[in-house]
Chains A and B, each alone.
Chain A
Amino acid sequence: MERSDTLQEKMEQNGMSRRTFIKYCASLASLMALPPSAAYAMAEALGKAKRPSVIWLPFQECTGCTESITRSHSPSIEGMIFDMISLDYQETLMAAAGHQAEEALHAAMKENYGKYVLIIDGSVATGLDGAYSCIAGRSNLESLKEAAKGAAAIIALGSCASFGGIPKANPNPTGAVAVSDIIKDKPIVNIPGCPPIPVVITGVLAQFLTFGTLPELDKLGRPKAVFGETIHDRCYRRPFYDQGKFAKTFDDEGARQGWCLFELGCKGPVTYNACATTKWNDSTSFPIESGHGCIGCSEPDFWDAGGFYKALSMPADPLKMAATAAVAGAAVGVAISFANRAKKGAAKSAHETTKLEDLEK
């Protein structure tokens, strides 16, 4: 595949009309909360753009993020754009292995120095100098620092790269951290989720290619357009929450009626993501629609947030101090009551009767 292919040429080869392409650009522009006029600019820029070099490094991860991106429903438009970037290094998807793969990586980094987009999925192990996770004999920590130097922008894909994710869950044996904990001098976009929504990454890439800018980010470094609202606020089951209609178990009448899953531990109210609107599997459904509460996978430390099946209003941990405190309180009370009684007794026995002659003294 020639590296100089433009997207336009590539699309024509795939039988995609310009009209379809502009429609796609319009949907991407609206996803990224850009004005409608941006769609044409985007189509122009993407049409002419050389396929950008993308280097994708997997660290402490489960390949779920890759699984998610590959399920962007090829030959859907997302899938095609995904084919059209020049993905120079992606261990799971590339044919090369071993030394060839390493060579491809270093060639791409050298050739596109300062211009490539670096996608990281997985957290970075820092324990034992990063020895917990190595590729080609080098720690992820080392690879990240090297690859980040020549990157134009970094996309931390998935909750592990964005926030440390499951590897960072208590007690974090590998000393896992997020990409943003290591790299401080490059623009980083966090696209959390376990896994993240496929269209979000194509949206971020399209904006970067068109305008050379990254989307507006919230304070956790996530694109505001996608992570601006909670699942709860966009949930189709929200009216049941407001009416106080809750499923109590996963197989009761309420569950069959599609009532709110808050009591079954749904983390929708505290989770900022677009699942309820973009949905998954070609807009088929999302977890709540399938009858399971949101587990809050795009939030930092979701794994340690008190259990997936405990309602948000419930204690995150058992109240271990309660019994001891009650006994201690009762003991203090009883002790003080004895002290008070002793005081009273002492006062009584020290009491002297005042006689008339005492007053006349």
Chain B
Amino acid sequence: MNELQFLTWVRGTGLNIAVGIFLLGVLWRLFEIYSLGRKQDLSAPRHASGASGFHTIFRRSLPPPGMLKRSPVSYIGGYVFHIGLAIVVFLFAPHILLIKNLTGLSWPALPSQFIDLMAVVTMAAMVVVLVDRINKPVKRFLSTFEDWFTWTVTFLPVLTGWMAVQHLLLPYTTMLALHILSVELLLVVLPFTKLFHVFTLFGSRWYNGKVNGHKGVPV
């Protein structure tokens, strides 16, 4: 298999399989999680829960008082890499083209030099967050294989994409194919690891906020 055949495979059969597993996994887990249900809470609400669920969705994105100072790397690093990742994934012209091809939706792209800068910033933030996880004994103690693994499968697409654009190490065709392959790996593992927070994040925040409101801690 030569480089172009490899690229064609990852753009064709590979993508087909990866998107298939991704959709299967996502729908499976969404149905499974949201159909679990909760026991009816018979206690009288201490506070009408109102918009507590909705507010919590946003409040949980902000650090609680004092936490930013105590754990700046987690918060700032986390912000930078999540925002950077969103910019790189959704505002790079070739990515938008892929989304347009798959869904018909499209929007304007940012200049590729800016995307390039964001990719570097994102990778730097991810490395800082990883080093912090290794250095802090508590974080290291709490980390499992899944944490290291999910970091890797998130980091690889950014790294390979950036290296492809920059023509580093390998010929562009091979690197582009490796980039797409790494994204396919991410798609395959996403539904079955903690990366599924992409889908469950807002649902669980809303649920927690609503329960807290019911118990008398409105937001």
Q: Name A's B-contacting residues (CB within 8 A).
A: 220, 230, 232-233, 241-244, 246, 262-263, 269-270, 272, 296, 299-302, 304-306, 310-317, 319-322, 324-326, 328-330, 332-334, 336-337, 340-341
**Would you give 30 A-B contacts (Cβ < 8 Å), ordered by A?**
A230-B172, A242-B111, A242-B112, A244-B111, A244-B112, A262-B93, A263-B93, A270-B3, A270-B172, A270-B173, A272-B171, A296-B4, A305-B4, A305-B7, A314-B98, A315-B12, A315-B98, A316-B8, A316-B11, A322-B19, A325-B19, A325-B20, A326-B23, A326-B27, A329-B26, A333-B28, A333-B29, A333-B31, A340-B35, A340-B36
Q: Does B97 make an interface contact (CB < 8 A)?
A: yes
Q: B41 an interface residue at 8 Å Cβ cutoff? A: no
- The bracket for how many chain B residues form the interface is 35 or more
The binding surface of chain A is classed by DSSP as helix
Query: Which of B17, B32, B167 lies at the interface centre, i.e. has the most chain A CB atoms within 10 A of its CB?
Result: B32
Give Cα distance in the complex from A322 to B13, angstroms. Answer: 12
CB B89 to nearest CB in A, in angstroms, measures 12
Q: Does B2 contact A (CB under 8 A)?
A: yes
Say yes or no: A322 contacts B23, CB within 8 Å. yes
CB of A17, distance to nearest CB on chain B (Å):
42
Asked whether A262 lies within 8 Å of B94 as measured between CB atoms, the reply is: yes
Question: How would you classify the secondary structure of chain B's contact residues: helix, strand, loop or mixed?
Answer: helix
**Any chain A CB within 8 A of the CB of B110?**
yes
Q: Which one of B3, B23, B31, B37 contacts A336 once the chains associate, using CB atoms below 8 Å?
A: B31
Residues of A near B8 (CB, < 8 A) are 301, 304-306, 316
Greatest chain B CB density within 10 A among A232, A312, A329 is at: A329
Contact B20 A316 (CB under 8 A): no
Residues in A with CB closer than 8 Å to B29 are: 333
Chain A residue at minimum C-beta to C-beta distance from B13: A317
Number of A-B contacts (CB under 8 A): 140
Q: Could you tell me if B102 and A244 are in contact, using CB atoms closer than 8 angstroms?
A: no
Whether B7 pairs with A329 at a CB distance below 8 angstroms is no
Give chain A residues whose Cβ lies under 8 Å from the Cβ of B172.
230, 232, 269-270
- Chain B minimum-CB-distance residue to A310: B101
Task: Provide the residues of chain B in CB contact with A242, threshold 8 Å.
Answer: 111-113
Q: Which 5 A-B pairs have the closest CB atoms?
A: A333-B31, A337-B35, A329-B27, A329-B24, A321-B20
Given A270-B4, A322-B20, does the pair A313, B95 have CB atoms closer than 8 Å?
Answer: yes
Residue of A whose beta carbon sits closest to that of B12: A316
Within 8 A of A (CB), among B59-92: none
CB distance from B56 to the nearest CB of A (A): 25
Q: A325-B20, A325-B21 are in contact. Are A312 and B27 (CB under 8 A)?
A: no
Contact call B35/A300, Cβ cutoff below 8 A: no
Task: Indicate if the CB atoms of B97 and A314 lie closer than 8 Å.
Answer: yes
In the assembled complex, the Cα of A310 lies from the Cα of B12 at a distance in Å of 12
Q: Which residues of A contact B109 (CB under 8 A)?
A: 244
Give the contacts of B156-183 with A (CB-CB under 8 A): 167, 171-173, 176
